[in-house]
Amino acid sequence: MSNIKFRSIFAMACGIASIIFSWMGYGAIVAIPHGIIAIVFAATTLKMNPRAPFRNFCIAGLITGIVGTALGAIVFTCSIVATAAAATYYNAYNSFSW
């Protein structure tokens, strides 16, 4: 019982952390592992005991893990693209000579 309770709450906490980290630009790289851990813990806990008393925490962890992983991937990709575009613009601007 306590193992299921711990795993359920841990999955939800990691899912929430992944959503929070996903909005931090390059901090989104931290969101992806947190989201994957939340998905794994929630899925395995639900598979171990589908009628678990903390089933709602597992479902919340699964949903927030999926959302946090997706947002983290999108925000991290956008950060890479924005950095590349800024570097290109900066190099083009500095190569111009009078």
Domain residue spans in the chain?
A: 2-95
The SS3 assignment for 27 reads helix
Mean pLDDT, rounded, for 10-17: 95
Predicted confidence band at 98 (pLDDT cuts at 50, 70, 90)?
low
pLDDT at 13 over 90: yes
The tokens describing 41, both together, are 């813990």
What is the rounded average pLDDT of the residues 68-87? 90
Higher pLDDT, 37 or 4: 37
60-77 pLDDT per residue, tens: 999 999 999 999 999 999
pLDDT of amino acid 26: 79
Model confidence at 33, pLDDT cuts 50, 70, 90, reads very high
How far is it, in rounded angstroms, from Cα 55 to Cα 35? 18
**Helices (H), strands (E): how many in the chain?**
3, 0
For residue 10, give the DSSP letter: H
Assign 96 a pLDDT band (cuts: 50, 70, 90). Answer: low
Across the range 20-30, mean pLDDT stands at: 86
Tokens encoding 40: 């794994």
